[in-house]
């Protein structure tokens, strides 16, 4: 009964499963994550109407997908944890590369790193990617921490530094998957360590700075706080920091925001274009992926949202300010130090979430 | 008999479809086993979800925090709601409608919009800090957002009409000659309120308290957007289990326990309602 009811309910909530025949593509992507002109161009060229829906957290995406029959044709989950979990749940359609001639435009080095999560790259193509690091207000941090080099997680993770920065505002994004690996790496441990000892060490390090942390909130809230100057140090996604910096410049209120890619080695993450197994219109989804992987289209997207893409031939068309920003496109040396977070076993996942709750509660 | 059935049928259908059926689904998921898949559980009579709740004091604390915050919210709503309800009840009948409309008006705007407005008021670069800084009353912005005070302000604001309306309904029916008699006999207004108005309207006050308390105990949005990270209420913990852990059985078990916990005050509320 239940198994029959749930899909029914999901169907009622689904955006457009019925409209599949009339050449509609249902896209579900992160908010503020595309150049709207690109979508219009796709419709002009193919005649496929795009219904573009957005989420601002992976949890929302996963929640919608988990009930089944979401009605979406193309989703953009982050490699870990959502893409990996959807893959394990059998919720993703293998991509048909014959329908994606532009697949060859993808950077093979980056795709190889995704293969850790998606063996053989069968289910996902990189849309945009980035690192996890610190968004800072250099003026305030330099004043609070004279003589401290601004290139490492030491800024946040050393309790004596955190104590001195507490006044100007420390924030950490509310996402154990995106924070714990970096903390482990900072501790000199395996970022993909899932043993009790790893968890204990990470928890001790986080608790030591907890009294100085003002807010542990979703990354979208951190973007806001950095742009308005409410936070002077925040652990979050690179692209969000770069967007916050742009917004702060536009607001013209004397707030300067910079990004610190930790020299210890930053966590790499990938937002992957994928097709749900029950997508009503997988043909259109393949066409859209192929369309997006064109160099000029990818360049337009990167120029708009300031995240790096994985199509190297788009680089000449990316605005110089974005292209030459080492925080957007890290150089090879910095890229060599990055790591990709793997999928923890289920038991470790629960231990990790519990650890995170204790960190948030400050108990 | 047939006519009676016909009249009640929509009500029963409503209850069955939107109360009993969801509660049944919830209970079924609460007893299921988590399983990576779509949907992420396997139907069974395992009870692992409930066992997880019993094993870790974290959940107990979440219930404690939720009940405490809901209690404070309901108490503050009563304190603020009484004078408001009295003022409206004692206004000229023509003006009452206007005052009630003013009370309800903010309620008609979107809930998230109002929370957003609070965030705009309370944030470091917000309106309140702007005024304080401009007047020289503070050197650096006060950290108002992400505090327990901010969370309570948001909750009281969201739930205040639930407290004012039942109080108003009781106060407007209160025979004014009772208070006049007390005052004629020498009672000061405060004494008259405590010995006459309060006892007569006590059932309405209890109803007002519960109408705020029950939804506030499960609140998620306001603690998440305005509260401090340490305010881990049941609503937030449930969200974590559902979305971050993807453990639907534990999340459903939390919802079932909260429902059972709230049944007691709901029963109490029914008793009060039943009183003449």
> What is chain B's pLDDT, residue by residue, as a tens digit (276 residues)?
678 888 889 999 999 999 999 999 999 999 999 887 788 888 988 888 999 899 888 899 999 999 999 999 999 999 999 999 999 999 998 899 999 999 988 888 888 899 999 999 998 888 999 999 999 988 888 889 889 999 999 999 999 999 999 999 999 998 888 888 988 998 888 888 889 888 889 989 999 999 999 999 999 999 988 998 888 899 999 998 888 888 899 999 999 999 999 988 888 777 776 765
**Contact flag A228-B58 (C-beta cutoff 8 Å):** no
DSSP E strands: which ranges in A31-156? 49-55, 74-75, 125-136
Shortest Cα distance, chain B CAs vs residue A186, angstroms = 24
A111 touches chain B (CB under 8 A): no
**Contact flag A59-B244 (C-beta cutoff 8 Å):** yes
CA neighbor of B193 nearest in space, from B182, B185, B204: B182
- Residues of chain A contacting residue B239, judged by C-beta atoms under 8 Å apart: 59
Whole-number Å distance between alpha carbons of A75 and A70 = 10
Reported as type and span, the H/E element at residue A28 is: strand A24-30
* pTM higher than the cut 0.90: no
In angstroms, what is the C-alpha Rg of chain B?
23
A267-273 and A339-340: which strand pairing? parallel
Interface test with A, best of B69, B244, B245, B251 (most A CBs within 10 A): B244
Residue identified by tokens 């986080």 is: A206
Shortest Cα distance, chain A CAs vs residue B46, angstroms = 16
CA neighbor of A319 nearest in space, from A335, A334, A298, A333: A298
* Residue A122, both tokens: 């069968």
Whole-number Å distance between alpha carbons of A187 and A82 = 26
What b/e sequence results for B199-233 when a residue is b if at least 16 CB atoms lie within 10 Å of its CB, and e otherwise?
Answer: ebbebbbbbbbbbbbbbbbbbebbbbbbbbbebbb
pLDDT > 60? residue A19: no
**Contact flag B38-A214 (C-beta cutoff 8 Å):** no
Domain ranges of chain B: 39-274
Residue range A339-344: average pLDDT? 88
DSSP letter (8 states) at residue A309: B
Q: pLDDT tens for residues A209-260?
A: 999 999 898 888 899 899 988 899 999 999 889 889 989 998 888 889 999 9
- Residues of chain A contacting residue B17, judged by C-beta atoms under 8 Å apart: none
Reported as type and span, the H/E element at residue A340 is: strand A339-340
Domain ranges of chain A: 23-129+270-330, 131-268+340-361
DSSP letter (8 states) at residue A120: G
What is the assigned CATH class of domain A23-129+270-330? alpha beta
Q: In degrees, to the nearest 5, what angle opens at C-alpha B29 toward C-alphas B26 and B34?
A: 150
Residue identified by tokens 């996942």 is: A349
User: Between these two residues, B118 and A326, which has the higher pLDDT value?
Assistant: B118
Q: pLDDT tens for residues A117-157?
A: 999 999 999 999 999 999 999 999 999 999 999 999 999 99
Domain B39-274 belongs to what architecture?
A: Orthogonal Bundle (1.10)
ipTM for the predicted complex comes to: 0.73
Q: Which of residues 42-81 of A touch B (CB under 8 A)?
A: 57, 59-60, 62-63, 65-68
- Residues of chain B contacting residue A144, judged by C-beta atoms under 8 Å apart: none
Residue identified by tokens 């990790």 is: A352
- Residues of chain A contacting residue B37, judged by C-beta atoms under 8 Å apart: 89-90
Whole-number Å distance between alpha carbons of A240 and A137 = 14
CATH of the domain spanning A131-268+340-361: 3.40.190.10
Interface test with B, best of A361, A362, A363 (most B CBs within 10 A): A361
């Amino acid at each position: 009964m239940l198994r029959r009811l749930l899909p029914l309910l999901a169907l009622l909530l689904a955006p457009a499963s019925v409209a599949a025949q009339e050449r509609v593509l249902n896209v579900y992507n992160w908010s503020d994550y595309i150049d709207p002109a690109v979508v219009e161009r796709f419709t002009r060229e193919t005649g496929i109407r795009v219904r573009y829906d957005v989420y601002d957290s992976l949890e929302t995406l996963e929640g919608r997908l988990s009930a089944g029959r979401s009605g979406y044709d193309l989703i953009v989950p982050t490699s870990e944890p959502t893409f990996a979990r959807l893959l394990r749940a059998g919720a993703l359609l293998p991509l048909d590369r014959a329908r994606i001639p532009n697949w060859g435009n993808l950077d093979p080095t980056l795709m190889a790193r995704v293969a850790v999560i998606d063996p053989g790259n069968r289910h996902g193509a990189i849309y945009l990617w980035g690192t996890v690091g610190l968004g800072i207000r250099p003026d305030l941090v330099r004043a609070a921490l004279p003589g401290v080099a601004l290139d490492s997680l030491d800024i946040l993770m050393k309790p004596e530094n955190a104590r001195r920065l507490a006044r100007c505002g420390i924030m950490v994004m509310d996402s154990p998957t995106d924070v714990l690996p970096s903390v482990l790496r900072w501790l000199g441990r395996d970022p993909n360590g899932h043993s009790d000892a790893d968890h204990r060490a990470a928890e001790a390090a986080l608790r030591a700075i907890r009294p100085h942390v003002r807010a542990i909130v979703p990354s979208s809230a951190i973007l806001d706080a950095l742009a308005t100057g409410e936070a002077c140090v925040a652990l979050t996604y690179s692209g969000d920091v770069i967007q916050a910096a742009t917004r702060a410049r536009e607001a013209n209120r004397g707030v300067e925001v910079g990004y610190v890619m930790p020299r210890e080695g930053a966590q790499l993450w990938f937002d992957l274009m994928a097709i749900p197994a029950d997508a009503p219109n997988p043909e259109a989804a393949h066409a859209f992926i192929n369309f997006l992987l064109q160099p000029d289209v990818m360049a337009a997207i990167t120029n708009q949202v300031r995240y790096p893409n994985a199509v190297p031939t788009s680089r000449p068309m990316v605005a110089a300010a974005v292209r030459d920003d080492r925080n957007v496109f890290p150089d090879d040396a910095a890229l060599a130090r990055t790591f990709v977070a793997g999928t923890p076993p289920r038991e470790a996942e629960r231990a990790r979430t519990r650890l995170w709750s204790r960190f948030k509660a400050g108990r | 008999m047939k006519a009676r059935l016909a009249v009640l049928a929509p009500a029963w259908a409503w209850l069955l479809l939107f109360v009993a059926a969801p509660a049944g689904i919830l209970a079924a998921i609460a007893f299921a086993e988590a399983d990576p898949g779509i949907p992420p559980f396997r139907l069974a009579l395992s009870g692992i979800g409930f066992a997880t709740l019993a094993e870790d004091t974290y959940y107990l604390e979440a219930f404690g925090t939720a009940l405490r915050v809901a209690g404070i919210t309901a108490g503050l709503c009563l304190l603020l709601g009484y004078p408001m309800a009295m003022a409206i009840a004692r206004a000229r009948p023509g003006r009452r409608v206007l005052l009630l409309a003013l009370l309800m008006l903010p309620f008609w705007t979107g809930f998230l919009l109002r929370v957003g407005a609070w965030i705009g008021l309370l944030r470091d670069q917000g309106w309140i800090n702007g005024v304080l800084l401009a007047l020289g009353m503070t050197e650096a912005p006060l950290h108002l957002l992400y505090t327990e005070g901010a969370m309570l302000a948001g909750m009281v604001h969201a739930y205040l009409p639930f407290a004012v309306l039942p109080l108003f309904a009781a106060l407007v029916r209160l025979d004014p000659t009772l208070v006049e008699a007390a005052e004629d006999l020498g009672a000061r207004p405060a004494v008259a309120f405590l010995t006459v108005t309060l006892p007569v309207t006590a059932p309405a006050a209890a109803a007002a308290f519960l109408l705020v308390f029950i939804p506030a105990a499960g609140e998620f949005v306001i603690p998440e957007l305005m509260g401090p990270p340490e305010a881990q209420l049941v609503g937030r913990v449930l969200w974590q289990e559902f979305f971050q852990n993807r453990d639907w059985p534990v999340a459903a078990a939390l919802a079932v326990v909260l429902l059972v916990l709230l049944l007691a005050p709901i029963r109490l509320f029914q008793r009060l309602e039943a009183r003449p």
